Amino acid sequence: MTHWQHPHFHAYFPGGNSYPSMLGELLTAGLGSISFTWIASPVMTELETVMIDWVGRMMDLPKELLPYTEGGTGGGVIQGSSSECTLVCMFAARTKTITALKETHPGEDDCILLSKLVAYFSEEAHSSVEKAANISFVKRRILPTDDKFSLRGETLREAVEKDIASGMVPFFVCATMGTTGSAAVDNIEEIGQVCAEKDLWLHVDGAYAGNALICPEYRYLLKGFQNVMSFNYNPIKWMHVGLDCSVMWVRNKYYLVDALSINRIYYMEDEQEKHLLDYRNWTVPLSRRFRSLKLWCVIRTYGVEGLQEYIRSHVALAKMLESWVRADDRFEVVGTVEFGLVCFRLKGENNLTEFLLQRINQSGKAHMVPASLKGKYVIRFTPANWYYSEEFTKKTWDIITDFAEVVLRKHREATQRFQKLLAKYKDHARARHESASGGDVFEEEEDHSWNGVLRKLGYRTKLSDSCGAPARRQSSLEEVPEDSTLDDVQQNEAGSSSYRIKRALRSESSFRSLSLYGDESTRPVKQPSETLFS
């Protein structure tokens, strides 16, 4: 298995866990209760509402979103994941919009109205937002971000006005607080102004960075929340809570109930119970787990200050790695390090960073994943467990720099071999041209890239995806004898594996061949006690 709690697991945002959370899960399993109506399990409903209020006040959310605001329509619910939160909010917005359209288009079929609805989100939004649009059968517009990977209000406004002019009906916008690729934050204030003007439902997905709102220094992220209709975050990512647990608030709970409420006689309640919450009408599943218990255990054990300290420690460790990356002229940081995520890369072509990440992950000494930010292939680093420390950060940086030295050295060696092979190709082509033309002046071909040479020699090339794993070739051009000619290469290719191509280049200006990693003796040996995988 892959050990998410290993100190050198940095692939994804933290998969939270702690002893209090485990205790809460144990008690939940022991109780064996299921919640869907208040009467089915009063304690599960009541504690969930209390936790929604506790966390909302810890974050200083607008009181209109909190459940105990006198005369308010706000409230919250604990879902299983952010995917569910986005989906049910889109359902609510869809129902609200279609209901309004039917008043102005009384004879129109629901399917016709549905076909006109459009949802908006950025190119950096989580994949679950696009999935929610697919499930909701609405059209979607994926909008470009600025140079900081943030969606801006003007970009949204242009897209919305263009759709309105073409007869479409914009109805839903999802802004992100802490994108998966770079932890960027969309400009919620600007987006909120557009949503208020155009009567759009604004949902904020704060799955990761939303946790930071419990720290006062991050409350600036709440700017523009007066126009937010719904908001969710995942305690499982940064608050010591184990999967599954995603907290969601909504400004008007009745929109949610209207979209998801289906009544049956076996759900009927006594007259005095009708004013009580039935969370079955707030979620897609009917049966619901006692998720609020583990959240209660964690908050009661660590307290607000303990949770703040945990988040700040991860941010400090990320800043520490950022400083080391910036101090090394072989690397560059991409994006802003605002939370606990650092995106970095080797300077130069994308394939260098791709090779570096491949070497690190293959060694089993650390585990990270890539992202593509405006065409740049980057490595994502994030502290991912509760006992992570400066010592582990330093060890991870040592692993990164050690493999970077190997990759860059192999890159230099491959470049030298390529230049020699290219020179031989030019000499061979010139000689053949002069022999065939009786001494006419030879004009060099424009395409002297590695792929160009390979095509001239009759080799087939295959490019890899911009962010995927490198394309594997059947064999490699391991060693090219210094005195060999291109004819020798062509003649020997069919019978000797040492002359066949293992990897082709991604682009005309970069190359991936000539045994970048060298022979097996240069590969790091996996130590079972150190590996993340078992």
The CATH code belonging to domain 1-13+304-534 is: 3.90.1150.10
Helix (H) or strand (E) holding 52: helix 42-58
Distance CA 182, CA 22 (A): 30
Contact 133, 125 (CB under 8 A): no
Distance CA 475, CA 503 (A): 8
Q: Residue 451 pLDDT more than 70?
A: no
pLDDT, tens digit, 9 for 90 and up, residues 251-296: 999 999 988 888 877 776 654 455 678 888 888 888 888 999 999 9
For the chain, the average pLDDT equals 82
Distance CA 231, CA 247 (A): 8
* Mean pLDDT score, 121-148: 95
What residues does 350 pair with on adjacent strands?
none
With tokens 């509760």, the residue in question is 386
* Mean pLDDT score, 483-507: 37
Give the single-character DSSP code of 208. T
Asked if the peptide bond before residue 244 counts as cis, ω within 30 degrees of 0, the response is: yes
Token output for 179: 């994108």
Residues in the chain: 534
Distance CA 143, CA 207 (A): 20
pLDDT, tens digit, 9 for 90 and up, residues 413-439: 888 887 877 777 777 767 776 676 665
> What is the pLDDT, as a whole number, of residue 63?
94
DSSP states of 348-389: S-HHHHHHHHHHHHHHTS-B-EEEEETTEEEEEE---STT--
Identify the weakest region by mean pLDDT among 84-93, 102-111, 193-202, 473-482: 473-482
The most confident of the ranges 68-72, 225-229, 278-282, 459-463 is 225-229
Contact 320, 357 (CB under 8 A): no
Residue 14 or 495, more confident = 14
Q: Which of 352, 366, 373 is nearest to 397 (CA)?
A: 366
Distance CA 285, CA 390 (A): 42
Q: At what angle do helices 291-327 and 19-31 cross, to 10 degrees?
A: 150
Cα dihedral across residues 61, 62, 65, 69: positive or negative: positive
Residue 334 or 491, more confident = 334
Distance CA 129, CA 43 (A): 32
Q: Do domains 1-13+304-534 and 33-289 have the same CATH topology?
A: no
With tokens 């009063």, the residue in question is 42
Specify the amino acid at residue 202.
L
With tokens 């279609």, the residue in question is 98
Give the single-character DSSP code of 407. H
In percent, how much of the chain has pLDDT > 90?
57
167: left (phi over 0), alpha (psi -120 to 50) or beta: left
DSSP states of 98-135: HHHHHHHSTT--HHHHHTTEEEEEETTS-HHHHHHHHH
Q: Residue 531 pLDDT more than 90?
A: no
> What is the pLDDT, as a whole number, of residue 385?
81
Q: Residue 201 pLDDT more than 90?
A: yes
Residue 524 or 307, more confident = 307
Q: How many CB atoms lie within 10 A of CB 502?
A: 20
CATH class of 33-289: alpha beta
Distance CA 258, CA 417 (A): 68
Identify the weakest region by mean pLDDT among 66-70, 447-451, 509-513: 509-513
What residues does 231 pair with on adjacent strands?
204, 249
The most confident of the ranges 104-118, 413-427, 458-472 is 104-118
DSSP, collapsed to helix, strand or coil, labels residue 6 as: coil
pLDDT, tens digit, 9 for 90 and up, residues 388-422: 888 889 999 999 999 999 999 988 888 888 787 77
> What is the pLDDT, as a whole number, of residue 478?
36
Domain boundaries, the chain: 1-13+304-534, 33-289
Token output for 516: 């970048």
Helix (H) or strand (E) holding 197: helix 188-198
Distance CA 332, CA 169 (A): 43
With tokens 């424009």, the residue in question is 446
The values of phi and psi at residue 59, to 5°, are: -90, -10
> What is the pLDDT, as a whole number, of residue 292?
92
Q: Residue 507 pLDDT more than 50?
A: no
The values of phi and psi at residue 182, to 5°, are: -140, 5
Q: Which of 490, 420, 428, 498 is nearest to 454 (CA)?
A: 490
> What is the pLDDT, as a whole number, of residue 414?
80
Q: Is 271 exposed, middle or buried (0-12, 13-18, 19+ CB in 10 A)?
A: exposed
Q: Residue 464 pLDDT more than 60?
A: no
CB within 8 Å of 163: residues ≥ 6 apart: 118, 141, 169, 170
Q: Residue 248 pLDDT more than 70?
A: yes
The most confident of the ranges 156-160, 428-432, 446-450, 527-531 is 156-160
> What is the pLDDT, as a whole number, of residue 441?
52
Identify the weakest region by mean pLDDT among 74-83, 203-212, 282-291, 293-302: 282-291
Specify the amino acid at residue 40.
A
Identify the weakest region by mean pLDDT among 2-16, 52-66, 199-213, 358-372: 2-16
Identify the weakest region by mean pLDDT among 128-137, 308-317, 438-447: 438-447
Task: Output the CA torsion 141→147→153→159 (10° steps).
Answer: -30
DSSP, collapsed to helix, strand or coil, labels residue 477 as: strand
Q: What is the pTM of this model?
A: 0.79
Distance CA 186, CA 177 (A): 6
Contact 24, 298 (CB under 8 A): yes
DSSP, collapsed to helix, strand or coil, labels residue 89 as: helix
Q: Residue 529 pLDDT more than 50?
A: no
Q: Which of 505, 327, 325 is nearest to 415 (CA)?
A: 505
pLDDT band at 444; cut points 50, 70, 90? low
> What is the pLDDT, as a whole number, of residue 275?
64
Q: Residue 452 pLDDT more than 50?
A: yes
Whole-angstrom Cα Rg for the chain:
29
> What is the pLDDT, as a whole number, of residue 461?
41
Give the single-character DSSP code of 184. -
